[in-house]
Amino acid sequence: MKISSFVKKALTVAAILIVVATFFFQPATVAYADDPYLDSNVPSAGMTNKDIEYMNKHILAWMKTQGQVFVDMHDTEIDFQALIDLQIQKKGDAQALEVALDQFMTDFHIAWDIHNEAAKIIGTQWGFDAQGHVTNREAALKTVTDGRYYLRDARFRMLESLRMLKRDYAAWRYKHIHR
């Protein structure tokens, strides 16, 4: 059977249209901003209760370590303020240090609030008994997943603000040495 040139053209156009339509109407990818670690893709069906209990223990230890870093940062703030006072006393100006510390403290308090939010979620131990055993699987999964999400967010923000402060502080020290 011989195919006419018109049919050939129609088929070619239809094929091109299908390819173009596939390109434009493909399903949207996961929003990385909402789920940066792709937790929603982690299969929880194959996870045993023992795994959830292990995760719970891990985020409890994580919360404690991270909380200590936040507490220690208060000491750093005190030292930083003392250095600013000393610079004002000696040279009458410490603007670069003051700006760096203000910016850091703003970011620090946001990170601290997020860390406290994680502590609230983890602290309820929803889905776990007093010994840390799973009593309600869905609730326990939500506790560890949400707790981990907030802990990660607080850690990420804290690291970013620390790096910013270290950069500003290094720049100030360089100027201070080569003044």
Partner 1 sequence: MGLKQIDWVAAALALVLLAACGTADEDLADPLKPPSVYRNPQVYVTRAPTQTVDLTAVAQVNASATPEPAAFQVFTEPLVDDEQFLMDRIQSMLDEAERELNQIDINP
Chain residues in the site for partner 1 (CB under 8 A):
37, 54-55, 58-59, 62, 65-66, 68-69, 72-73, 75-76, 79-80, 82-83, 86-87, 90, 148, 151-152, 155, 158-159, 162-163, 165-166, 169, 173, 176
Least CB distance from residue 121 to partner 1, whole Å?
Answer: 15
List the one residue out of 142, 130, 125 whose CA is nearest residue 63. Answer: 125
| DSSP secondary structure letter of residue 35 | -
Smallest distance from partner 1 to CB 44, Å = 13
Nearer to partner 1, 139 or 164 (CB): 164
- Is 4 strand, coil or helix? coil
DSSP classification of residue 128: B
**Beta carbons within 8 Å of 165's beta carbon, 6+ residues apart:** 100, 101, 103, 104
* In the complex, least distance from residue 159 CB atom to partner 1, rounded to whole angstroms: 5
Instruction: Spell out the residues 6+ positions from residue 34 whose beta carbon is closer than 8 angstroms to its own.
Output: none
Q: How far is the CB of 105 from partner 1 (least distance, A)?
A: 14
Of 15 and 170, CB closest to partner 1: 170
Amino acid identity of 126? W
Choice between 139 and 162, CB closer to partner 1 = 162
Report the nearest approach of partner 1 to the CB of residue 85 (Å).
Answer: 10
Q: Which residue, 134 or 151, is less far from partner 1 as judged by CB?
A: 151
Q: Provide the residue count of the chain.
A: 179
* CA dihedral sign of residues 48, 53, 57, 59: positive
List alpha helices for the chain, DSSP H.
5-24, 49-91, 95-124, 137-177
C-beta of 146 vs 155, nearer to partner 1: 155
